[in-house]
């Protein structure tokens, strides 16, 4: 499964309005209000925030991958947000986060969930990829950055 198969421009925020970690996560989750793939948005929110309490998903280099698993989604869903000025996120390297990739999967889809987390992490670890995301102006441009980057990856 490719990131571009679960992420679409409707679930990309080119500039988050949030100024803190929890608000940013909630801003991304709120994109799924009234989404037919989500049975209970509050259970999605709880799964992601509960996971965040275990250990920060701010992995360093200015990006975070908040994620969770719940049976309140019918399939794996994803959203992406960017904050050019950065958000204090309690990241592992202590630096603010500019790029946030939200991933929520079903409890029963553990393998696909882990593979997607791994792929997003590999992509985000590339300096030039992060820079292209930061320089993209619109949700369409951000989506194109993901599509272009994934062309260099083998199918998982």
Cite the active site residues.
Answer: 67
Nearest-angstrom CA–CA distance, 78 and 5: 10
Nearest-angstrom CA–CA distance, 126 and 133: 11
Residue whose entry in the numeric block shows the structure tokens 């989404």? 35
Cβ contact 63:98 at 8 Å: yes
Cβ contact 100:144 at 8 Å: no
User: Nearest Cα to 113, choosing from 154, 143, 151, 78?
Assistant: 78
Nearest-angstrom CA–CA distance, 43 and 27: 15
Q: In sequence order, which residues have a C-beta less than 8 Å from that of residue 52 and are 6 or more positions away?
A: 21, 22, 25, 66
The three-state secondary structure class of 156 is coil
């Amino acid at each position: 499964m490719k990131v571009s198969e679960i992420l679409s421009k409707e679930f990309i925020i080119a500039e988050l309005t949030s100024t803190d970690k929890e608000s940013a996560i909630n801003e991304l989750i709120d994109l799924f209000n009234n989404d037919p793939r989500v049975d209970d948005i509050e259970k999605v929110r709880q799964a992601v925030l509960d996971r965040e309490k275990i250990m920060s998903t701010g992995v360093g280099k200015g990006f975070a991958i908040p994620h969770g698993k719940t049976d309140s989604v019918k399939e794996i869903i994803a959203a992406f947000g960017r904050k050019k000025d950065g958000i204090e996120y309690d990241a592992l390297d202590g630096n603010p986060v500019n790029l946030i990739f939200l991933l929520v999967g079903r409890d029963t889809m553990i393998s696909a969930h882990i593979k997607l987390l791994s792929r997003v992490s590999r992509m985000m670890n590339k300096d030039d990829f992060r820079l292209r995301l930061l320089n993209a102006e619109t949700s369409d441009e951000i989506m194109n950055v993901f599509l272009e980057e994934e062309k260099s990856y083998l199918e998982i």
